Amino acid sequence: MRARSGITDYDSFVPSQALSRAAIADALGWIKPSIRGMARGARRYADWDEDVLTMSVGACRRIVAAAHEAPGQLCLASTTAPFLDRQNAGVIATALDLPETTRTFEFSGSQRAALSALISLSESTQSALLVSSDKRPTRSGSPLEMLAGDAAAAVYLDNRDVIAEIILTRSIQADFVDHYRTVGSRGDYTLEDRWFRDEGLLRIVPEVVKPLLADAGSGPSDISHFILAVPDPSMIRAVGKSLGIDAKNISDNLFGDCGHAGAAHPLLMLADVLDRARPGERILLCAFGQGCDAVLLRTTDRIWQKSERIPLADTLQRGRTHDNYMRLLVARDKLDMDWGMRAERDNRTAHSVAYTKSRDVYALVGGKCLTCGTPQFPKARRCVNPQCGALDTQTDYRFADLKAAVKTFTEDWLAFTRTPPLIYGNVSFNGGGNIFLEMTGFGPGEVEIGTPVRPEFRIKDIDKQRGFHRYFWKAAPYAGASGV
Amino acid sequence: MQGLPVSRGIRDRAAIIGMGCTRFGERWDATPEDLVNEAFEEAMADAGIAKEDIDAAWFGVFYEEQNTGKSAYPLSQYLRLANIPVTRVENLCATGTEALRGAVYAVAAGACDTALAMGCEKLKDTGFAGLPERTKGTFEDLYQPNFTPPGAFAQLGAAYAAKHGIGMGDLKKAMAHICWKSHENGFGNEKAHLRKKLTVEQILDAPMVAYPLGVLDCCGVSDGAACAIVTRPEIARSLGRDSFVTVKSIQLSPSNGAEMGHGSWDGAYTLTTRTAAARAYAEAGISDPARDIGLTEVHDCFSITELVLMEDLGLSGEGRAPADVLDGRYDSGGDIPCQTDGGLKCFGHPIGASGLRMNYELYLQLLGRAGDRQLAGPEFGLAHNLGGIPNRNVSAISILGMNS
């Protein structure tokens, strides 16, 4: 039997859109003066074409590309996955082009879903990719609108090349309701802070942590990083203090540049900690939600191995911060906007075609001609090279992880999009291949011929009539591109 | 095929003895039935034949769902044809020329004596400006951008500027001249949709639709119908005509995906126009188009399209079109006048009819019937009709001249 697994890689995805909290307070402070007290920094939010699944793919893609082998399992932890009955994890697995034999499943129902999954998966002998992602609905003027941010974070669990060993885990369950959300409700129903802090966090977290540390032969002074993924930084400090953890070892909860990412937040905070951790450090990772899950980790020498991972702190420095509250409402489809007749187009999906072409569309797999070597999308029976045209000579060729450059583009103010102008054009991929793509993450005047881009998994179209939406890849700026 | 005689092409094997074209524009009170009959009556009076002399017809309609509905029978019904063969054709914005090609090929092949080509579009019944949204097919809907025509054609602008090292400001001036010229030409045309002169400044200052195209870089969206009656040259002579218009060439070139999916296209020209033009000039026996073509009607759906087409048709050298445009080479008093009737820009663009409308202008000019805008004795006229968008399209070129 293989040894218990640890974390071998990790990454995160944070949407580029960032709304300054002062802008929220300016828009709504006249109704809710209390939110002015939280009007610091900026919260990240998923744009209209981003959701739990697109952010998950963003968090996982580098991990999968760097892994020695495809994970045996893919688990999504989220409370806001878009489909209630259509496996969300399956969409992620398809977009990541994982093998059909991958065991896919989901954890949900609580803010601690990701750590519940982590604990379960750590007991499995099969490698696993665990991704957590949340895009919480937040009602206008609610404290959560100020505190929340959207994000995804992922860890790869395996038993070799471990960068953070899982020493011990412990859980407790309690049907303690500090907030809840039911099917169809437009946001969380949240009870008062003192109930959450005093009867929830300060009573339940120690009930898990103290025996965990005792079993591990550790004390609070051995903890280099204490992670408690709750929205309010002052509550984390209070819990840390009650446990006897040194204040300097209490991890920042990323309120300033991100906001609390729901079920994704424990692994998001962990990513931030692992970016800066040194070998041999102990990390106490806790998530609260109808009980508490706690995981004690110890970093290994491999924590300093080279990776193309961009540190989360760097990503958080590069948000597209603005102060237009209306953009958040539009991204959330909460504004009764007159989009004009072009928005009436019927986006019915032919599911038989979507299934047959799922690797093309969801995994961005095209073809490469074995006769002339031309990469092309979509893969076709006959090679697109006008000098070739050979029949049935193409092998699978994935474009999703390739860098590319803008060949032609326009900013289209006529086409319907929720973030005008719609920018699109012909994109040339490094190594060959051209795809006509929508672009995302750019504003007017930011695209030029030659602008470096790479594909990003995004919502392509929304079919409101049938409550469905479909995904594809759009050309997005990548680190190194100007203005990103 | 080895050993067999090579096709002679269609040069001079079909004559056009009658054409009709409705007034284009916002024909709120007209139905497709009205437009078809209006164009048909003009063409029949011109041809001097009886309806029973028509053996077959080709009917071009693009947005059938906003228009006549599918199939051939709308034409048969509107004209109460005697159950003769009617073929409904659709080839994007090249639909009108496609209808003409069907009729000309049938006559040239000897399959029939006299054929009708009719194109009709009723765009103003959609309830909004611009072209209707449509799906692109079950697979392509999953990945193709939600482009609009101006956005797709606008891409020529930045690519052309980058390729030829021309500043966008200078390119925009040439584009504005193109629009200015068409408004000058359309002003005097009673059948044109947009009959208003504009200054270059007004065009340059228009609100941006899709960078670098402003709203006045875009053609009119119109209702209209146009038609041609095609017959064998012997029949034209038997009707007492010594001098009549013949078709020198019709060529069609659809994209095969190379522009969109292969790196060999740079985005700054229309590939299919170049292949169609080479074949058309060969079929028509034209060795030097810049010398021999007396006028053109090209697919100026947007100003930038007309600009690159001047090079694609071999009328301007590579990278020379902006200078030639600004020199007035394509103005009505220039060497090779373009859009003497106002073009798509001002005559308007009822899609299924446009290709036939272009040929209508060539026909009038060749016969000396163009009135105030009559040119001095052009030998050949060229119509270029483009469907689709720069990275995937259908180019149709027809060349008309007089019988020899």
Q: Among A300, A315, A331, which residue terminates a domain? A: A331
Pick from A350, A414, A449: which is nearest to B151 by CB? A414
Number of residues written out for chain A: 484
CA distance A241 to A245: 6
CA distance B341 to B349: 12
pLDDT value of position A184 = 87
Contact B147 A345 (CB under 8 A): no
Contact A410 B142 (CB under 8 A): no
The closest of B377, B152, B366 to B358, measured between CA atoms, is B366
Asked whether residue B165 is assigned to any structural domain, the reply reads yes
Q: What are A293's two structure tokens?
A: 């899950």
pLDDT value of position B2 = 73
pLDDT, averaged across chain A: 95
Asked whether residue B144 is assigned to any structural domain, the reply reads no
DSSP code, position B83: S
The average pLDDT across B20-31 equals 97
CA distance A148 to A140: 12
What angle separates helix A265-276 from helix A113-122, to the nearest 10 degrees? Answer: 70
What is the per-residue pLDDT across A20-32, written as a single tens digit (0 to 9) for each? 999 999 999 999 9
Contact B261 A422 (CB under 8 A): no
Q: In the predicted model, is pLDDT for residue A252 greater than 80?
A: yes
Residues in B whose CB is inside 8 Å of some CB of A read 127-128, 130, 133-135, 138-139, 141-148, 150-152, 154-159, 162, 208-211, 213, 256-258, 260-267, 390-391
Question: Is the domain of A326 the same as that of A407?
Answer: no
Asked whether residue B136 is assigned to any structural domain, the reply reads no
Contact B158 A409 (CB under 8 A): yes
Asked whether residue B4 is assigned to any structural domain, the reply reads no
Asked whether residue A388 is assigned to any structural domain, the reply reads no
Question: Is the domain of B67 the same as that of B25?
Answer: yes
Looking up residue A423, the CATH number of its domain turns out to be 2.40.50
Q: Which residues of B touch A374 (CB under 8 A)?
A: 262
pLDDT value of position B189 = 97
pLDDT value of position A482 = 39
Residue of A nearest to B160 (CA): A408
Question: Is the domain of A424 the same as that of A316?
Answer: no
CA distance A120 to A142: 34
pLDDT value of position B131 = 79
Asked whether residue A371 is assigned to any structural domain, the reply reads no
The active-site residue out of B183, B193, B349, B384 is B349
Asked whether residue B71 is assigned to any structural domain, the reply reads yes
Pick from B143, B209, B391: which is nearest to A361 by CB? B143
Question: Is the domain of A327 the same as that of A419?
Answer: no
CA distance B288 to A434: 35
In the sheet that holds A17-20, the strands lie side by side as A42-44, A17-20, A320-322
Q: How far is B157 from chain A (nearest CA, A)?
A: 9
- Contacts of residue A464, defined as CB under 8 A and 6 or more positions apart, other chains included, come to none
Question: Is the domain of B164 the same as that of B256?
Answer: yes
Q: In the predicted model, is pLDDT for residue B157 greater than 50?
A: yes
The average pLDDT across B104-114 equals 97
Question: Is the domain of A406 the same as that of A326?
Answer: no
Q: In the predicted model, is pLDDT for residue A444 greater than 60?
A: yes
* HSE-up of residue B155 (Cα within 13 Å, Cβ side): 30
Would you place residue A2 in the very low, low, confident or very high pLDDT band (cuts 50, 70, 90)? Answer: very low
Based on the structure, what is the number of domains in chain B?
2
Asked whether residue B265 is assigned to any structural domain, the reply reads yes
Cis status, amide bond into A421, omega within 30 of 0: yes
Q: What are A457's two structure tokens?
A: 């998994």
The active-site residue out of B93, B112, B179, B301 is B93
Pick from B162, B210, B260: which is nearest to A413 by CB? B210
The average pLDDT across A26-46 equals 97
Would you place residue B1 in the very low, low, confident or very high pLDDT band (cuts 50, 70, 90)? Answer: low
Q: In the predicted model, is pLDDT for residue B309 greater than 80?
A: yes
Question: Is the domain of B312 the same as that of B234?
Answer: no
pLDDT value of position B127 = 81
Q: How far is CA A264 from CA A110, A139, A258, A471, B70, in A?
A: 11, 20, 12, 21, 53
The average pLDDT across B3-18 equals 91
Question: Is the domain of B255 the same as that of B338?
Answer: yes
Mutation to test the A interface, candidates B136, B140, B262, most A Cβ within 10 Å: B262
Question: Is the domain of B21 the same as that of B90?
Answer: yes
Q: What are A270's two structure tokens?
A: 């962990």
What is the per-residue pLDDT across B225-241, written as a single tens digit (0 to 9) for each? 999 999 999 999 999 99
The CB density around residue A481, as the number of other CB atoms within 10 Å, is: 18
The closest of A139, A115, A155 to A263, measured between CA atoms, is A115
Based on the structure, what is the number of domains in chain A?
2
The average pLDDT across B358-374 equals 97
Number of residues written out for chain B: 404
pLDDT value of position A4 = 65
Asked whether residue A157 is assigned to any structural domain, the reply reads yes
Looking up residue B44, the CATH number of its domain turns out to be 3.40.47.10
Q: How far is CA B194 from the centre of its chain?
A: 17
Question: Is the domain of B216 the same as that of B227?
Answer: no
Q: Which residues of B touch A433 (CB under 8 A)?
A: 261, 263
pLDDT value of position A170 = 97
What is the per-residue pLDDT across A324-338, written as a single tens digit (0 to 9) for each? 999 999 999 999 999
Pick from B138, B142, B210: which is nearest to A414 by CB? B210
Asked whether residue A106 is assigned to any structural domain, the reply reads yes
Q: How far is B139 from chain A (nearest CA, A)?
A: 6
What is the per-residue pLDDT across A335-364, written as a single tens digit (0 to 9) for each? 999 999 889 888 999 999 999 999 999 999
The residue type found at B79 is L
What is the per-residue pLDDT across A283-322, written as a single tens digit (0 to 9) for each? 999 999 999 999 999 999 999 988 899 999 999 999 999 9
Question: Is the domain of B29 the same as that of B82?
Answer: yes
Q: In the predicted model, is pLDDT for residue A219 greater than 60?
A: yes
Q: In the predicted model, is pLDDT for residue A3 greater than 80?
A: no
Contact B257 A384 (CB under 8 A): yes
CA distance A240 to B262: 59
CA distance B284 to B294: 14
Q: Among B177, B207, B238, which residue terminates a domain? A: B238
Asked whether residue A346 is assigned to any structural domain, the reply reads no
Q: In the predicted model, is pLDDT for residue A484 greater than 60?
A: no
Looking up residue A201, the CATH number of its domain turns out to be 3.40.47.10
Higher pLDDT: A427 or B3? It is A427
Q: In the predicted model, is pLDDT for residue A102 greater than 90?
A: yes
Asked whether residue B5 is assigned to any structural domain, the reply reads no
Q: Which domain holds residue A422?
A: 402-477
In the sheet that holds A128-134, the strands lie side by side as A103-107, A73-77, A128-134, A151-158, A6-13, A164-173, A291-299, A282-288, A223-228
Question: Is the domain of B112 the same as that of B167?
Answer: no
Question: Is the domain of B60 the same as that of B162?
Answer: no
Q: What percent of chain B has pLDDT over 70?
A: 100
- Annotated catalytic residue B93: yes
Question: Is the domain of A111 the same as that of A25?
Answer: yes
Q: How far is B396 from chain A (nearest CA, A)?
A: 20
The average pLDDT across A36-56 equals 97
Residue of A nearest to B258 (CA): A384
Would you place residue B136 in the very low, low, confident or very high pLDDT band (cuts 50, 70, 90)? Answer: confident
Asked whether residue B85 is assigned to any structural domain, the reply reads yes
Residue of A nearest to B154 (CA): A410
Q: Among B173, B203, B238, which residue terminates a domain? A: B238
The three-state secondary structure class of B273 is helix
B110: left (phi over 0), alpha (psi -120 to 50) or beta: left
Cis status, amide bond into A311, omega within 30 of 0: no
Q: In the predicted model, is pLDDT for residue A206 greater than 60?
A: yes
pLDDT value of position B95 = 98
CA distance B39 to B96: 13
Q: In the predicted model, is pLDDT for residue B7 greater than 90?
A: no
Pick from B145, B152, B391: which is nearest to A438 by CB? B145
Pick from A376, A449, A472: which is nearest to B143 by CB? A472
The average pLDDT across B180-202 equals 97
Q: How far is A392 from chain B (nearest CA, A)?
A: 16
Q: Which residues of B touch A362 (CB under 8 A)?
A: none
* Angle, CA of B298, B303 and B308, to the nearest 5°: 65
* HSE-up of residue A234 (Cα within 13 Å, Cβ side): 7
Q: Which residues of B touch A402 (CB under 8 A)?
A: none
Q: Among B175, B208, B238, which residue terminates a domain? A: B238
- Contacts of residue B180, defined as CB under 8 A and 6 or more positions apart, other chains included, come to B198, B199, B200, B203
What angle separates helix B168-187 from helix B149-164, to the nearest 10 degrees? Answer: 130
Q: Which domain holds residue B78?
A: 15-125+223-238
Asked whether residue A382 is assigned to any structural domain, the reply reads no
pLDDT value of position A315 = 96
What is the per-residue pLDDT across B325-354, written as a single tens digit (0 to 9) for each? 999 999 999 999 999 999 999 999 999 999
Q: Which residues pair with A154 in a beta bridge?
A: A11, A131
Question: Is the domain of B351 the same as that of B387?
Answer: yes
Question: Is the domain of B260 the same as that of B177?
Answer: yes
* Angle, CA of A216, A219 and A220, to the nearest 5°: 125
What is the per-residue pLDDT across B163-175, written as a single tens digit (0 to 9) for each? 999 999 999 999 9
Question: Is the domain of B203 the same as that of B314?
Answer: yes
> Where is average pLDDT lowest: A159-163, A398-402, B286-290?
A159-163
What is the per-residue pLDDT across B241-283, written as a single tens digit (0 to 9) for each? 999 999 999 999 999 999 999 999 999 999 999 999 999 999 9
Would you place residue B130 in the very low, low, confident or very high pLDDT band (cuts 50, 70, 90)? Answer: confident
Q: In the predicted model, is pLDDT for residue A233 greater than 70?
A: yes
Cis status, amide bond into A206, omega within 30 of 0: no
Contact A385 B262 (CB under 8 A): yes
